[in-house]
Chains A and B, each alone.
Chain A
Amino acid sequence: MELSLLEVAFNALGVMLEPERLMYLGLGTVLGLAIGIMPGIGGVAGLALLLPFTFSLDAYSAFAFMLGLGAVTSTSDTIPAVLFGVPGTSASQATVIDGHSMAKKGEAGRALSAAYAASLIGGLWGALLLGLTIPVLRPIMLNINSPELLAFSIFGLSMVSALSGSMPLRGLAMAGFGVLLAMVGGDPTSGQQRWTFDTLYLYDDLPLLPVALGLFALPELADIAIKRMAISQTTKYNLRDGMMMGLKDVLKNWLLVAKCGSLGAFIGAIPGLGSAVVDWFAYGYAAKTCKGASETFGKGDVRGVIAPESANNAKEGGSLVPTIAFGVPGSASMALLLGGFMIHGLVPGKAMVTTNIEVTYAMVWSIALANILGAGLCFAFSGQFAKIATLRYTLVIPGVICIMMVGAFQASADWGDLFVLLIFGSVGWIMKHMRWPRPPLILGFVLGGIIEDYMRISYQLYEWGWVLRPVCAVMLIAAALSLTQPLLSKVFVKRETLALPRFSSPVFTKGDGFSFAFIAVLVWMIWRSLSWDEEAQGPPQVIAGLTLALVVISLLWAAVTRRYSDGKQGAILDLVADMGELTRPMVNLRALQFLAWLGAFVAVWAIAGILVSALCFVVFYMRVQAGESWRMVTGYSVVILCLIYFVFDQGFHISWPETVLGTWFPVLQAIPTM
């Protein structure tokens, strides 16, 4: 049996190595890399666009193309994550924290090459795991039901403790707030509208993309604009040394790569979890288990890059599991892939792991080959990319902002996306500067919806009996341990005594304003929820109440211990604002200026369309902020406008909003996007 399976696997490799199929695989890989680089533009739009072209190909070429495209977006999405702190897809959010810190220290080349190597090995490892487990996949999956998925998600949420650094209360409060944000939209059972401001935009829940871009990408770009300097002042190593170093880092941490790769493959196999959390799980895991992580993570530790990058490439193999074994697509891109499979007569189910197993192995090989090719290409260019970190900020900001705005908008083709981007951008910037950890917020946001749904299903089916199912019980205990681990290890491992600090009457500072604002928002949310249908009130109010309690306790604790504290700030696992010699009022003023630039961008967009507003933004920003030469400005504008017009307007057919000028003077609609 084993041998014959091996034979089948190698026959499948032979099938995939035919030149024509390799060519389509390569084409898909190159497109996937391009899509991964552009923040906000995911593989879904690209796949939908290209699917019809695969109809006329043979089945193997077709899925080689599609899998190639899907498998490498999380290889190239590292590039903007490391260079600008802007995750290229939601799978590289965690890479930003240490990857971007490394770039700031002049280690962009090392970070990039470590990321590619980790992506490559992680991706291959994920494919290998998938290949080995194919024969037993269906029976395993049939035993993982809603309560088990619920327990996994709860365990995932307990990672918050690892992502909160030494500020567990703030971390938990942010996770709670994330869960509340996930509840925005229609109540799944009663249809009650929760915190939707009576808009249709929020009817379907808050979309992840603009929230994530706002929280993580905008604050980094804002700080680059505020500092008015290149991302990195120095380059620590020459090109070759930096890249060799990154490679060595990965080889030295091979065990971490294997563990995070396995984690990634496993998470990928759970429908609904996938790319948005896999990187955080791996990052949290590394932060918990790596030696000395509490000192170095968040400050440019290469292991903080290796962990998420090995996991997010391995997830692609994992996410094939529910798709091929049951026809349950774990994500929108898998849904498209599934559509493509069906066109070629591949019906998911038992046959895919028995009679059609050669096809399944061919898919595994496609993923493996795409990873090799993708990482190889990125490697070849990584030196060039690393130089971008040393460019003047006025050459970086306009292009990245334009692409990100379009990327955020195409999520649901609604002005709401841009408002959410700017609101969460502002909140994220304040959080970064006030030292509130952002990762727990995004983790709570992604897992909150899943937990709510599976909780309802599990409770309807088993009431509280689901807790006692073996897998659930184990996972819940693990979650409890994970949450209390920092405290437990202090007491039982390090044998520290928990001395209470000296208390005083409360002392409040200006910085507590954020806590007060947070409290006000939570009180408002609870107050609004009082008018809902009775049956829809419970869960949101419990979470909101708990979150409120956490914020109040955290605020009061800080206030009564402040007078006698040594003034040392707690460590958080997140990028920390380092504004150099700029004074706080200066920083705030420039932050407002930057917000005004973005506001103007959106306003001009509403009046005259994206092409005009992108042009205005590029020209004015480059001229006003730094007096770039007209030649530079012209060339830059042409590139950006061509990109928006040919790729997004003509290629992706994004449905642009109506503009004021276009409505008043219909003649002007001849101008694209107006």
Chain B
Amino acid sequence: MKTLNKVIATVCASVLAAGTVVAGGHGSVADFYKGKTVELYIGYDPGGGYDTYARLVARHIGKHIPGNPNVVPKNMPGAGSVKLANWLWEAAPKDGTVFGAISRGAPFEPVLGNDKAKFKANKYTWVGSANNEVSVCATMKKNGITNWEQLKTQELTVGGNGSGSDTEQFPKLMNAVLGTKFKVIGPYGGGADIVKAMEAGELGGRCGWSWSSVKATKADLLASGDLVLLMQMSGSKHPELPNVPLVMDLAKTKEERQMLNLIFARQALGRPFLAPPDLPADRAKALQDAFMAMVNDPAFLAEAKKMDLELSPLSGAEVAALVAESYDTPQAVVDRAIAAIR
């Protein structure tokens, strides 16, 4: 984690330096934003993780955008943030005064056959992502399952939050690709309800649980060894979890890997921020640069630390590359993945 952060910090510092030069050079961007209000739309109700990250960004990004506009957060909840994604695609002003925070899964909805998602995510102006979310599958020690291989022979009930949720899609996909025997029970109201049911013995475990959230809320169970981590889901291993198998390493064929990638790529762009397509190039760059400058700002880092929010940011370009990759997945693989998670 530390080395990664260092690398990112170096990269970002250079971007920041470049950003300052660019901002200084392009007075027009600063002139445009000066005295303006930039709106940061959030695709969820107040209170959840996406809202918390977005409000943090709204408090800090303004001072890194040339002209220092006032940034206000606004909530536009609906359809797991697909509503906001649609609005940014179709109706939002494309002048750089509006950007948004959507769920990590939303960009992939059109690929996965959701006909209500009326956008092409590879065409958005990606601003950046605040964190590479590593999720885990976990169970309680008393259930007697200690490694993921056992899941192939032993059924484990895990809680789901309804169709389309990570907690529902992740175990189902692994059943199809890896031959595990998760039985998804649901719909539970929220992730915390699943964990409570697991503690009470009603459920065997939870599959699709942010590592950062595990640390923040269940440190006691981790310390006592009552909580067993079976797998981690993301593009790469979390530095703090070197001994927990990474789901991508468990795929045997190329097609299996593509299927896993289609669903788990989203983890890397865990807390994505995006602006409408076709923004004026200089303003798009101003927003992207401001994002990367912000994630190195000590004031921002200090507040995130206080709020227990994990940060491992990606630049807009990196997010765009990840999204584009999934749009290139062969249709046959996509169809198999859809069949697995429905």
Contact = CB atoms under 8 A, between A and B. Distances in A.
Interface of A: 44-45, 47-48, 51-52, 55, 141-143, 145-146, 186-191, 200-201, 203-204, 271-272, 322, 326-329, 332-333, 335-336, 339, 342-343, 347-351, 412-414, 453, 456-457, 460-461, 653-655, 658
A272 B163 CA distance: 19
B74 to A, nearest CB: 4
Nearest to A663: B91
Given A55-B306, A349-B217, A461-B202, A200 B185 contact: no
Contacts, number: 141
A326 B196 contact: yes
23 contacts: A52-B59, A186-B164, A187-B163, A188-B187, A190-B163, A190-B342, A271-B193, A326-B192, A326-B195, A326-B196, A327-B192, A329-B47, A335-B47, A339-B47, A347-B217, A347-B220, A348-B217, A412-B77, A412-B78, A457-B186, A460-B183, A460-B185, A461-B185
A654 B74 contact: yes
Given A186-B164, A460-B185, 19 more contacts: A44-B45, A44-B46, A48-B46, A51-B55, A142-B200, A143-B200, A145-B200, A146-B202, A186-B162, A186-B163, A189-B163, A203-B116, A204-B78, A204-B80, A329-B192, A339-B52, A453-B189, A461-B185, A653-B74
B199 A326 contact: yes
Contacts of A201: 78
Given A200-B82, A329-B192, A188 B163 contact: yes
A342 B41 contact: no
Interface string B112-143: 00001000000000000000000000000000
B316 to A, nearest CB: 23
B242 to A, nearest CB: 25
A380 B29 CA distance: 54
Contacts of A342: 216-217, 307-308
Nearest to B41: A655
Interface centre among A327, A332, A343 (most CB of B within 10 A): A327
B86 interface: yes
Nearest to B83: A200
Contacts of A453: 186-189
B278 interface: no
Nearest to B114: A191
Given A55-B303, A655-B41, A48 B217 contact: no
B76 interface: yes
A219 B86 CA distance: 35
B55 A322 contact: no
Nearest to A56: B306
Contacts of A190: 163, 342
Contacts of B59: 52
B8 interface: no
B216 A347 contact: yes
Contact of A343 (B48, B193, B306): B306
Contacts of B45: 44, 332
Interface in B201-232: 201-202, 216-220
Contacts of A456: 186-187
Contacts of B79: 200, 203-204
B289 to A, nearest CB: 25
Contacts of B310: none
